[in-house]
Amino acid sequence: MNNADVRKPRLSRTAAFILFCLLPALIPVVVLTYFPIFKGIIMAFQNYSLFNLNDIRFIGFDNFKTVLQDPNLPTIMQNTVLWVFISLILQFAIGFVLSLLLYQKFPGRGVYQGLIYYSWAMSGFLIGIIWRWMFNGQIGVINDLLLKMGLISERIGFLSDPKWAMFSVIVANIWYGVAFFAIMLTAAMQSIPEELFEAADMDGANGLQKMLHVIIPYILPTIITTTALRVIWIFNFPDIIYAMTNGGPANSTHILSTFMLDKIVFGGDYGLAGAIGVISIVLLLLYTLFYLFATKASKAGDF
């Protein structure tokens, strides 16, 4: 028996042991994540309604045709784009400014960090309820502040007027997501070697030049990763909208994820909801591939 024959069963036992150790972590992921995904994809091609469970059958692409022919779909797609990109841009911009401030050493920095990170520790649904009260057209604090500042002459129905409803839910989402970028970008900045700033000082760089040529290039991998993830999370984040407007008034604040929930909660139509879910997966896959290609993510962070 040669050495190779001796090693082979030892490697197999090692692999089996590793697999055995991973099973407690793998089983919940498979059962709670991958199985629902595959089941949802199958449902997308079925007539699957809670009101008629005796008539579950494959119907091809009929659910997709129904979704694509929905008269509300153009508004929903427009809302989805506004919801994702306005939220992302302002969350990132405000979070980046806050991270620059938090990167500086000053008395009480920990207290300020705690206050800024507070929103990220709350549930999205609870935040939606709080902002629903703040934007209330009769007793909301936003209307009171605007009236006292003289910016408006009468109360605005922020959540009951279709012209203001989408704006209101996006404001709440921006407030919620700023903390994420502040946390991640501050952590990335704290890993920048002091030698880079010392070299920049020796070259006579000012604050803006340090930000453009030291900070941003160094934390670029974090920026690419966090913005890519945040788009996916915002896209799949119906909590605030559902708590504030429930997609109304007159479907004016529906995005794809709330539209999907609406089909499940009120319509009981898992087939249509599955089709919307598959469309969402395809859109996010295309976005991710395009984003990683456009940003040249594999080369990010190279000096």
Report the alpha-carbon distance of residue 45 to residue 259 in Å, rounded: 18
* Residue that is written with structure tokens 């012209």 in the block: 163
**Inside any domain, residue 94:** yes
- Please check whether residue 63 is in contact with residue 44, taking contact to mean a CB–CB distance below 8 angstroms: yes
Question: What does the chain come to in residues?
Answer: 303
**Inside any domain, residue 294:** yes
CATH number at residue 120: 1.10.3720.10
The rounded average pLDDT for each run of 10 residues, N- to C-terminus, in the chain (303 residues) is 53 82 91 92 94 91 95 94 95 94 83 81 90 92 93 92 93 94 92 89 88 91 92 93 90 93 92 95 93 74 52
Supply the pLDDT for residue 120: 83
Supply the pLDDT for residue 7: 54
The angle at the Cα of 116, spanning 134 to 215, to the nearest 5 degrees, equals: 135
Instruction: Tell me the sheet residues that pair with 46.
Output: 58
**Inside any domain, residue 57:** no
Q: Helix, strand, or coil here: 71? A: coil
**Inside any domain, residue 32:** no
As a whole number of Å, the end-to-end CA separation of the chain is: 53
Report the alpha-carbon distance of residue 20 to residue 3 in Å, rounded: 26
**Inside any domain, residue 10:** no
> In this structure, what are the phi and psi dihedrals at residue 138, rounded to the nearest 5 degrees?
-105, -45
Residue 259 burial (CB count, 10 A): 24
Domain ranges, residue 249: 75-299
Return the C-alpha torsion angle 218, 220, 226, 227, nearest 10: 150
**Inside any domain, residue 287:** yes
Report the alpha-carbon distance of residue 178 to residue 126 in Å, rounded: 17
Q: What is the total count of domains within the chain?
A: 1
The tens digit of pLDDT for each residue in 188-224 reads 998 899 888 889 888 888 888 989 999 999 999 899 9
Q: List C-alpha distances in Å: 23 to 10, 12, 37.
A: 20, 16, 20
**Inside any domain, residue 47:** no
Report the alpha-carbon distance of residue 297 to residue 224 in Å, rounded: 7
The tens digit of pLDDT for each residue in 56-76 reads 999 999 999 999 999 999 999
- Please check whether residue 270 is in contact with residue 50, taking contact to mean a CB–CB distance below 8 angstroms: yes
Which of 19, 26, 40 is closest to 236 using CA atoms?
40
> In this structure, what are the phi and psi dihedrals at residue 47, rounded to the nearest 5 degrees?
-85, 100
* pTM, full prediction: 0.85
Supply the pLDDT for residue 116: 80
- Please check whether residue 201 is in contact with residue 258, taking contact to mean a CB–CB distance below 8 angstroms: no
Residue 56: enclosing H or E segment and its boundaries? none
**Inside any domain, residue 20:** no
Instruction: Tell me the sheet residues that pair with 47.
Output: 57
Supply the pLDDT for residue 298: 62
**In a 10 Å sphere around its CB, with 0-12 CB exposed, 13-18 middle and 19+ buried, how is residue 182 labelled?**
buried
For 26-40, give the secondary structure using H, E and C.
HHHHHHHHHHHHHHH
Supply the pLDDT for residue 111: 82
Supply the pLDDT for residue 15: 84
Q: Helix, strand, or coil here: 1? A: coil
Report the alpha-carbon distance of residue 158 to residue 172 in Å, rounded: 12
Residue 299 burial (CB count, 10 A): 9
